Amino acid sequence: MDGNLRRIRENRALSRKDLADMSDTRESTIYRAETGQTRLRPSTIRKLAEALGVEPEDLVSRQSRLGI
């Protein structure tokens, strides 16, 4: 996620727990995504984006979108 998820979450002054509650996602999933330990499913990206009020593409790095 190239830091986008964490940056957006922190800009909105949300903890991982806050975002997990808002998006019906596990806090551990958010942690692993933010630290590059896992790739999120498209459905999870959509839930996180909706909770953060951004487009799903905003959470995905430019490299991921280009298939690099």
State the pLDDT at residue 64.
Answer: 47
> What domains, with CATH codes, occur in the chain?
4-66 (1.10.260.40)
Residue 60: pLDDT above 50?
Answer: yes
State the pLDDT at residue 27.
Answer: 98
State the pLDDT at residue 25.
Answer: 97
One DSSP character per residue, the chain reads -TTHHHHHHHHTT--HHHHHHHHT--HHHHHHHHTTS-PPPHHHHHHHHHHHTS-HHHHS-HHHHHT-
State the pLDDT at residue 5.
Answer: 95
Q: 3-56: per-residue pLDDT in tens?
A: 899 999 999 999 999 999 999 999 999 999 999 999 999 999 999 999 999 999
